[in-house]
Structure 1
């Protein structure tokens, strides 16, 4: 009693961090198409302030930390092999997402943002559900 964070609550806090980093990463990617508008309107997006290259680096770091925290959640909760398969597939999808775009070619940004992120979310959900149902 009196403690803000119990050990049993840690996975929920980590999941919050995962989603925050994941959304932050793909929002930075999506903001790359609006750099000129952001600058014109005085909006301070990461790509508008620091450039596309730095934006890509920050988005990659966000997604890397998301995967690292997915691993931490799996270790803390003891989820089974379907979860781990999902984490591996999600990590591969993050890599694919970031290979689709570069500082000099944003032509596949919609594919990276809309499609690949959809695949990642479904992968993590199905893998987690399968791990829970099989445990």
Structure 2
């Protein structure tokens, strides 16, 4: 019974999607430390990331519960179906954000001082689709906190490189979230919800997504020079660029299976590939 509940909560916050931001956080951590930081630092970075990410997802599910119930595509989610209630979800939110704040405190004073800014982004994102088509960009910025925060956790000070890496994450996430949002163009327009697909139409939205991902690759190449990396890193970027090309090629809003592959499955592979080749570059390059 307990295991079943935890499984349900994991599905609610889409725990498996931690793969999106975790690899970039590890990259930020490795670059900041020029190798591996202490075990304690690694531990608290992972704890902070897990708490922040899952708390933010639970919050988003609670904020969107009424919208999800009206949308045929999302009506089977846990809150619309009554599998979990608001009290349970708020319990998850409070526990996860509490873990995040405590982990930031254990890392260093700067990380702890920045927790209100991170929490503000998590809260504001959940409401953005009600007033701006830039919701995808706000989501990307919120996710960009993973590599930037990991860098700050190691060094305790700001630098240029982590913000470039953060911009990579922001553009990447915003790009594939736009693709995901193309499934709801009609619903969003009928319910006065905002998104780039609803505001600019399907074709223009896909062009914007492509531009975001193109700039993302340019920034990843720029990091090759900024961080003085080797050809190994570039191999990972090349593979990722090919995968992004495939992602945009197969997009089909009318085909739910293809959309899942394009917006989620491929992107769950991209970040681990970039991480793998970055690690190889750092330790054997």
TM-score (ref. length: structure 1): 0.88
**What residue in structure 2 maps to residue 118 of structure 1?**
268
CA 1:74/1:111 → structure 2, altered by over 3 Å: closer, same or farther? same
Which residues of 2 match residues 72-111 of structure 1 at below 5 A?
72-101=222-251, 106-107=254-255, 108-111=258-261
Which residues of 2 match residues 34-49 of structure 1 at below 5 A?
34-49=184-199
In structure 1, list runs of 5 or more residues that go unmatched: 1-7
**1: distance between equivalents of 2:166 and 2:254?**
29
**1: distance between equivalents of 2:254 and 2:245?**
16
In structure 2, list runs of 5 or more residues that go unmatched: 1-157
Task: Report the Cα offset of residue 94 of structure 1.
Answer: 0.7
**2: distance between equivalents of 1:123 and 1:29?**
21
Task: Report the Cα offset of residue 134 of structure 1.
Answer: 1.2
**1: distance between equivalents of 2:267 and 2:254?**
16
- The structure, 1 or 2, with the larger RCO (C-alpha pairs under 8 Å, 6+ apart) is 1
Q: CA RMSD in A?
A: 1.4
**What residue in structure 2 maps to residue 50 of structure 1?**
200
The runs of 4+ residues in structure 1 deviating greater than 4 Å are none
Q: 1:79 is paired with a residue of what secondary structure?
A: coil
Task: Report the Cα offset of residue 106 of structure 1.
Answer: 4.2
TM-score (ref. length: structure 2): 0.43
**What residue in structure 1 maps to residue 18 of structure 2?**
none
**What residue in structure 1 maps to residue 219 of structure 2?**
69
Higher-Rg structure is 2
CA 1:106/1:71 → structure 2, altered by over 3 Å: closer, same or farther? farther
Work out the number of aligned pairs and report it: 126
